[in-house]
Structures are given as C-alpha cells and as structure tokens.
Amino acid sequence: MMDSKNSLTDEQLLEKCLQNDRKAQNKLYTKYSSRLFGTCLRYAKNYTDAEDILQEGFIKIFKYLKDFRNEGHFEGWMRKVMVTTAINFYKRKNLLNKEIDPEYVNTPSLATPDAISLISNEELLSIVQELPEGYRMVFNLNSIEGYSHKEISEIMNISVNTSKSQLSRARNALQHKLLHLMNLKKSDLVHA
C-alpha cells in the first residue's frame, strides 16, 4: 500500500514547496534534478559547470516558484529557468561575447545520414560541449530549445546577425567534428 505522503501530485508538491517545506523541496529536487541536469550539460562546458548550473538553477526555481502561474507545463518552466541560469553563468564569467574566429570555413556536409548512429549520446554531448561558449549557447537555444534569432539576440545581448553567424559556425564545427569522428569509427571497423 502506497503512503499518500510519498505520492504527492506536482500541484501538492508545489504548494508545500511554496510553504518552505524542506522535505517537499527535496522531493521536487529528487524528482526533476536528473532530467534538468541533461539540459544543464547541453549548455555547460563540462560536468562541473553543469552541476553548478543545476544547483544555482534550483535555487532560482525555489526563489521564483511563486511566479509560476500553472499556464504551462511545470517541467518546461523549470527547464527555461535552467537555460537562463546557464546563459547567465557564462555571462558572469564573461565568456559569451568574446570575438571568436571561426575554426572551420568550408566544411563539407556529412555524406551519410547515419553518421550520428555511429556515435553514442555521450560522444555527441561531448562534441557539443567542445564548442566555444557562444556557439554552444546559440546552437542549444535555436536547435534544441527552438528560440528565434531575435529572441536569442535579446537573451544573450548580441545582434541577430551575430546569432545567425554563431549558429552557422556551430553547425560547421559540429559537422566537421562528426565527419572526423565518423571517419575514425569507420576506420576502426575496417581494421577490426
């Protein structure tokens, strides 16, 4: 038989969190932290930064929980808090608005559509994390979160053209890295 205290709905959990119930806050953290950590990893340069972003993001979630209006999905609202936290994390480190010269100019597109199937999720995440901060942020905001270049320019305090340029450079760098990794994997398969 399930204890009713352990089977709280999100609404009941949120209500208890609003009352500063530490056990409810812990349950909320436990329930959503692993999913939100994935969002943090996409924006972070490394695992340690992702952990810091997650912790800082949850502090903001608890601080601004009273502002959640139940007009959308709660997990989506929390994900937006994490994205904003990640962007501000790197703004504070003064890493977002550096002028970054493109590493790759004319990168060929991937020849086979199954290139991504040759690599693991961890390898793909690692490739995205290797992107320079500005590229990674714009790529995630546009390609993963679905923000327009106008919205990205406002979020990151950059011009629309800079957003477009960084997305293009991010995609070129990702294509280059994926192509290189794909060729290495194919080479390993041939020699195995």
Question: Looking at the structure, do residues 174 and 125 belong to the same domain, yes or no?
Answer: yes
Question: Looking at the structure, do residues 169 and 192 belong to the same domain, yes or no?
Answer: yes
Residue 66 domain flag = yes
Question: Looking at the structure, do residues 104 and 72 belong to the same domain, yes or no?
Answer: no
Report the alpha-carbon distance of residue 161 to residue 133 in Å, rounded: 17
Question: Looking at the structure, do residues 116 and 40 belong to the same domain, yes or no?
Answer: no
Give 102's contacts (C-beta < 8 A, 6+ positions apart). Answer: 169, 172, 173
Q: Give the pLDDT score at 2.
A: 39
Lowest mean pLDDT among 84-88, 90-94, 127-131, 174-178: 90-94
What is the CB-side half-sphere exposure of residue 46 using CA atoms within 13 A? 1
Reported as a single tens digit per residue, the pLDDT across 2-26 is 344 457 788 888 999 999 999 999 9
Select the more confidently predicted residue: 104 or 96.
96
Q: Give the pLDDT score at 128.
A: 86
Reported as a single tens digit per residue, the pLDDT across 43-54 is 888 889 999 999
Number of folded domains that form the chain: 2
Domain CATH number, residue 191: 1.10.10.10
Residue 155 domain flag = yes
Question: Looking at the structure, do residues 77 and 161 belong to the same domain, yes or no?
Answer: no
Residues making up the chain, counted from first to last? 192
Q: Give the pLDDT score at 117.
A: 56
What is the CB-side half-sphere exposure of residue 109 using CA atoms within 13 A? 4
Domain boundary among 59, 93, 127: 93
Question: Looking at the structure, do residues 142 and 61 belong to the same domain, yes or no?
Answer: no
Residue 2 domain flag = no
Task: Residue 89: give the domain boundaries.
Answer: 8-93
Q: Would you list the DSSP string of 112-124?
A: -TTTGGGS-HHHH
Percentage helix, strand, coil, to 5, in the chain?
A: 70, 0, 30
The pTM of this model reads 0.64
